[in-house]
Amino acid sequence: MPEGHTIHRIARDHRGWFAGQTIGLCSPQGRFEKESKRLDGNLLQDVTAHGKHLFYHWSPQAIVHVHLGLYGKFRVHKNPAPEPRGAVRVRMIGKERSFDLNGPTCCELINVKQYREIKSRLGQDPLSEDACPEKLWERICRSRSPIGTVLLNQSVIAGVGNVYRAEILFLLGIHPETPSNELSREQFDSLWKLTTDLLKIGVKYNRIITVDHQLFDKPLSRLNSSERLNVYKRSNCRRCGTRIVTLLLGNRKMYACETCQRMNQNS
């Protein structure tokens, strides 16, 4: 499932390519036909993201909410767009580009009240201008759950997925099974800053990159998949060479180095 950096990158690109334009909308698959007919030929005002959720704002009372889930995918075309490929839920046609949306977990037309309700269910998004780290700190202080589990909880912190949680905790030297309420304020502040910084790098390069750029004699944009990460799906720790262990946290595999991430080493 795409993590928050991917969704914010899509929002940024789609905002630049489609916002402020009169948009053609159709549903080749037919599952969004009624909604497409209502919006076809209207002005798309903005495209925003919160965590792993996308919002296409046609007016305060007409917003398309998209969650890609595991199988959702956008295909962007230069106009004229080719024939739809596969089960295209929505085709959006702008002046110069079009996109097809296939296989999303959610694609629905909502109003402003529903939009606010969705956002209220989501946690703090480090990439959002209105993010409030104090609210996140309050949640973490009250939780006895392992920090490796909490970081996957989208109602606590929105946009962090399985790769980022492993890499963030490794870089901070925090064992993923550490109870969240045992984190110090200093550790939390470092976690928030690092998460924000790494997600911004992800948006910039459109991929997750967590390694120190000084390790390689080439730009970050040219790193291959085996070079971008420290512990996630690696057999050995990039820093110390210790064999990486896997834990099951939040029903997902968690990767950690138990040499660099000792339990309670900072508590």
Residues 6 or more apart from 10 whose CB is under 8 A from it?
49, 54, 74
DSSP per-residue string spanning 186-252: HHHHHHHHHHHHHHHHHHHHTS---S-GGGSSS-GGG--TTTS-SSTT-SB-TTT-PBPEEEEETTE
Using CA atoms, how far apart are residues 185 and 190, in angstroms rounded to an integer?
A: 9
Question: What confidence tier does 6 reach under pLDDT thresholds 50, 70, 90?
Answer: very high
The tens digit of pLDDT for each residue in 44-78 reads: 999 999 999 999 999 878 999 999 999 999 999 99
Question: Superfamily for 4-121?
Answer: MutM-like, N-terminal (3.20.190.10)
Using CA atoms, how far apart are residues 121 and 251, in angstroms rounded to an integer?
A: 21
Looking at the chain, the domain(s) classified CATH 1.10.8.50 span 133-256
Token readout for 24 is 């053609």
pLDDT(95) > 50: yes
Work out whether strand 88-93 and strand 245-249 pair parallel, antiparallel, or are unpaired.
unpaired
Assign 263 to helix, strand or coil: coil
pLDDT(266) > 80: no
Which pLDDT does position 1 carry in this prediction? 85
pLDDT(267) > 60: no
Which pLDDT does position 5 carry in this prediction? 97
Degrees to nearest 5, angle at CA 148 with 175 and 193: 85
pLDDT(223) > 50: yes
Between residues 264 and 5, which one has the greater pLDDT?
Answer: 5
Looking at the chain, the domain(s) classified CATH 3.20.190.10 span 4-121
pLDDT(166) > 90: yes
Q: Which residues on neighbouring strands pair with residue 203, listed in sequence order? A: none
* CATH top class, domain 133-256: mainly alpha
Token readout for 7 is 């969704």
Using CA atoms, how far apart are residues 118 and 252, in angstroms rounded to an integer?
A: 24
So which residues are the catalytic ones? 2-3, 52, 252
Q: Name the pTM for this structure.
A: 0.94
Nearest 5°: phi and psi at 266? -115, 0
Which pLDDT does position 59 carry in this prediction? 87
Rg of the Cα trace of the chain? 20
pLDDT(145) > 50: yes
Signed CA dihedral, 201, 256, 251, 153: sign only: negative
